[in-house]
Structure 1
Amino acid sequence: MTHVNLKAKSTLLALILIAFSSSVFAGEKASSKKEKEIGIQLWSVREDMGKDAAGTIAKLGEIGYSFVEAAGYSDGKFYGMEPAEFKALLEKNGMSMRGSHTGINLPKDGEWDKAMAWWDTCIAAHKAAGAKWIVKPSMGRDAYEDLDVLKQYCDYYNKVGEKCNAAGIRFGYHNHAQEFETVLDGNIFYDVLLENTDPDKVMFELDLYWIQEGGKEAVDYFKKYPGRFELYHVKDVEELGASGEMDFKPAFKMAKKAGMTDYIVEVERYNYAPIISVEKSFEFLNNAKYTK
């Protein structure tokens, strides 16, 4: 009788240990996805966000993304939601909003006060949503045609950056290929931006794909302008790793030199449905040995 009880107790103990081990392993497996702080630019799933923002955010959280960079700010709201509502939706799905792409171009004569008022509203909304940065993703055509206009943009960005700093938010600029292909009076467009903006007020979100498309090397800019590139956009022709043309390792190895604090996936073209492409992109970076 005693032998049977001992045997039963041993079996029960073994089952408990197996169950405990399984639950711990499952927990580790579930949490391992978010060991790396990988962000997603919501432009990557723009159509999905337009159809079902809540459902799309839920899927991104399930994939394992830690934060989003919005691309849907307008009139004090994000994707039609009040800042607090959007923030709560993200937090419900294990994410946060660290930043956003938005902005208005250089104000025309007599419209400066109106532009500054727009920025005040914009900055307040981003602050309420928990954003750490606001990035201007483009600028007017006139800047690419006239060096003096480009320098006016630089002054403008310094002013906007000063406003953002006062709210505890960083202001930055995101490139495409054109900023490296355009030369004004012997000056590379992107270099003019770097040299005429105050590092304390304006940082840069370097798109690793577009700089390569523009014929330049990211690492060369990290060496020449250390500390200016607080954000990376990690992008490929389609989802990350699909083309075989992008080597992100050198940029990540120089993250400290660049000044990079966060990196964000952006997918603009797809081999699959957008949500599948961003999932494959997450897996690519999550499995990469050079990312943290």
Structure 2
Amino acid sequence: MKKGSLLLMAAFLVGLFILPACAPQKKEIYLQLYSVRDDIKADYTGTIAKVAEMGYTGVEAASYADGKFYGLSPADFKKSIEDVGMEVLSSHTARPLADSVAATNWDETWAWWDTAIKAHKEAGMKYIVTPWMPTPATLADLQAYCDYYNQIGEKCNAAGLRFGYHNHNFEFQEIEGQLMYDYMLQNTDPSKVFFQMDVYWLGEGGKNPVDYFNTYPGRFELLHIKDELEIGKSGKVDFESIYNNAGTAGTKYMIVEVERYTEGLTPFESVKESYDFLNNAPYVKAVYSK
């Protein structure tokens, strides 16, 4: 065989065997569907397909009501997501206590949660996350919520699910001299309640995510990766430090949420730009769940 032919054969073998082994693994990046809320209302099926085409691994739902997700039965919702090549990870849903905690109808409350947990299990969820709560007037009311969340977490655990709480920035105010967010972390059982830190809102509350990772290691099983607009655009959030310290946080999954879009960008363009930023960032590992 001539020298030129040998070189061509060697190049072919390198491409066939070595290059595929070096190809980057697709990164696990999930999307909170609130990011494309208007598009989902207009065309659920088309929107889910476009999200999958962008490269997202799976979704976090934002429209649970009366045992259904986006008007679909749990089984149909699960199928709709899996049919486009994504997975169902989690869901935002909440049932606040009565304004006067003592006036809460506990029979109705627990019946509601039993239905919700069953629906989430049937939809293939790993996590249920409460995305918001009223600001308690007293520390006793805040403690009542901590006790409530512990009980919900116990029910979720029994069903093979995990229960968590998602912050905004109002949790970084004091109630009777206690910082609300820290009080919740200290008065919920880690085996029953995790925290889905929204890294943008925590910063807007004047705090540093990595400081919380170090103070409460292992408590932040999910992260909401968010910015003022598209991910990485504002410069306000140190995403590199957040990702580099995800092990301390105990984080298993990262979920993109885009609430506001740069003028001139469609929600789809905004969400795709956010995906591309993370997918191209060298400090973002392919997998955090193992």
Query: Same fold per TM (> 0.5)?
Result: yes
- Over 3 Å counting, the alpha-carbon distance change for 1:110 and 1:45 in structure 2 is closer
Q: Equivalents in 2 of 1:103, 1:113: separation in Å? A: 16
Q: Equivalents in 1 of 2:188, 2:216: separation in Å? A: 12
Aligned position for 2:152: 160
Q: Equivalents in 2 of 1:233, 1:155: separation in Å? A: 24
Aligned position for 1:285: 278
Aligned position for 1:179: 171
Structure 1 residues 242-257: aligned runs within 5 Å: 242-257=233-248
Query: Is the 8 Å Cα contact of residues 29 and 254 (structure 2) preserved in structure 1?
Result: yes
RMSD: 2.3
Q: 2:212 aligns with which of 206, 211, 221?
A: 221
Q: Equivalents in 2 of 1:221, 1:241: separation in Å? A: 21
Cα displacement string for residues 201-223 of structure 1 (whole angstroms, at most 9, x for unaligned residues): 00000011011100011111111
Query: Is the 8 Å Cα contact of residues 97 and 104 (structure 2) preserved in structure 1?
Result: no
Structure 1 residues 102-141: aligned runs within 5 Å: 102-107=93-98, 108=101, 109=103, 111-141=105-135
- Normalising by structure 1, what TM-score? 0.87
Q: Residue 197 of structure 2 aligns to a residue in which SS? A: strand
Query: Is the 8 Å Cα contact of residues 199 and 224 (structure 2) preserved in structure 1?
Result: yes
Q: Residue 165 of structure 1 aligns to a residue in which SS? A: helix
Q: Equivalents in 2 of 1:185, 1:149: separation in Å? A: 11
Q: Equivalents in 1 of 2:212, 2:74: separation in Å? A: 35
2:161 is the counterpart of 1:169: yes
Q: Residue 58 of structure 1 aligns to a residue in which SS? A: helix
Deviation of 1:113 (Å): 1.0
Deviation of 1:93 (Å): 0.9
Please state which structure has a larger fraction of its residues in helix: 1
Identity of aligned residues (%): 54
Cα displacement string for residues 233-262 of structure 1 (whole angstroms, at most 9, x for unaligned residues): 011110112212221111111111111000
Query: Is the 8 Å Cα contact of residues 48 and 84 (structure 2) preserved in structure 1?
Result: yes
Return the letter of the residue paired with 1:233: H
Q: Equivalents in 1 of 2:119, 2:192: separation in Å? A: 19
Aligned residues: 271
2:290 is the counterpart of 1:269: no
Cα displacement string for residues 32-63 of structure 1 (whole angstroms, at most 9, x for unaligned residues): 6x711100000101111111111100000000
| Higher CA-based Rg | 1
Q: Where do 5+ consecutive residues of structure 1 fail to align?
A: 1-9
Q: Equivalents in 2 of 1:236, 1:201: separation in Å? A: 28
Structure 1 residues 21-60: aligned runs within 5 Å: 35-60=26-51
2:230 is the counterpart of 1:239: yes
Return the letter of the residue paired with 2:154: E
Q: Residue 163 of structure 2 aligns to a residue in which SS? A: strand
- Normalising by structure 2, what TM-score? 0.88
Q: Equivalents in 2 of 1:110, 1:57: separation in Å? A: 37
Q: Residue 192 of structure 2 aligns to a residue in which SS? A: coil
Query: Is the 8 Å Cα contact of residues 219 and 249 (structure 2) preserved in structure 1?
Result: yes
Aligned position for 1:209: 200
Deviation of 1:110 (Å): 5.2
Deviation of 1:289 (Å): 1.1
Deviation of 1:65 (Å): 0.3
Q: Where do 5+ consecutive residues of structure 2 fail to align?
A: 286-290
